[in-house]
Amino acid sequence: MITDRAARFVRLLAFAVTLLSLGGCAGMFGSDPLRVNVAGIEPLQGQGMEMRFMLKLRVQNPNESPIDYNGVSVDLEVNGKPFASGVSDQSGTVPRFGEAVIGVPLTVPAFAAVRQAFAFADTAQTGRLPYVLRGRLAGGITGGSRFIDQGTLSLPTSDFGGL
């Protein structure tokens, strides 16, 4: 049988654990977002009509605490349309005020490639190809860190007038 004194002790202990948990979370809300940029893209062997690439992400952590991750997912839009996606069970740590390069295999479904080929014809006149890369580093008590990188790719232009 639990005495009144033991019940008060359990409530006090639960209250203290709650306060300590909230104090730990408060430090996370003031953190700066991760900086993520595409460091490289390498072709991989595809299957059937799909294309595959190894996307290399440079992840910079501008915070005072390291970020542990145990999985990565990314979605790539080109010209405002879904183009490729990828996941990796890679794990590691992005050090405090440091950076890491993370590889994620991307799959481009055949229909997405065909759709972008038609859209490319419209974009070829401007030579600019807008993209948005969204992703998440999974892990930690908050479930992970989300990131976004967006910009415009400049398509190569050639002057064939001299040929």
Averaged over 158-162, what is the pLDDT? 45
Please check whether residue 55 is in contact with residue 106, taking contact to mean a CB–CB distance below 8 angstroms. Answer: yes
Q: CA-to-CA distance for 139 and 133, rounded, in angstroms?
A: 20
How many domains does one find in the chain?
2
55 with 82, same domain: the answer is yes
| pLDDT score recorded for residue 53 | 92
Residues 81, 129: Cα–Cα separation, whole Å = 12
State what percent of residues in the chain have pLDDT above 70.
67
Place of tokens 């807008």: 130
* Token duo for residue 1: 């049988």
Does pLDDT of 6 surpass 70? Answer: no
Q: Are 61 and 71 in contact (CB under 8 A)?
A: no
Q: Which domain holds residue 15?
A: 1-30
**Is residue 15 domain-shared with residue 81, that is, in the same domain?**
no
Q: What is the pLDDT of residues 71-94, one digit of tens each?
A: 999 999 988 888 899 999 999 999
- CA atoms 103, 108, 112, 114: torsion sign: positive
Predicted confidence (pLDDT) per residue in 95-143, tens digit: 999 999 999 999 988 877 777 666 666 665 666 788 899 999 998 777 7
With respect to residue 73, please indicate whether it lies within any of the assigned structural domains.
yes
Smallest CA-to-CA distance from 67 within 104, 26, 20, 34 is with: 34
Backbone angles phi, psi at 142, to 5 degrees: -95, 0
**Co-location of 146 and 133 in the same domain:** yes
How far is Cα 73 from Cα 146, in angstroms, rounded to an integer? 10
Q: Any idea what the Cα angle at residue 81 is, between residues 75 and 87, rounded to 5°?
A: 15
Residues 36 and 26 in one domain: no
Tell me the whole-structure pTM to 2 decimals. 0.69
Q: Same domain, yes or no, for 66 and 138?
A: yes
* DSSP H or E run through 49: none
Residues 48 and 95 in one domain: yes
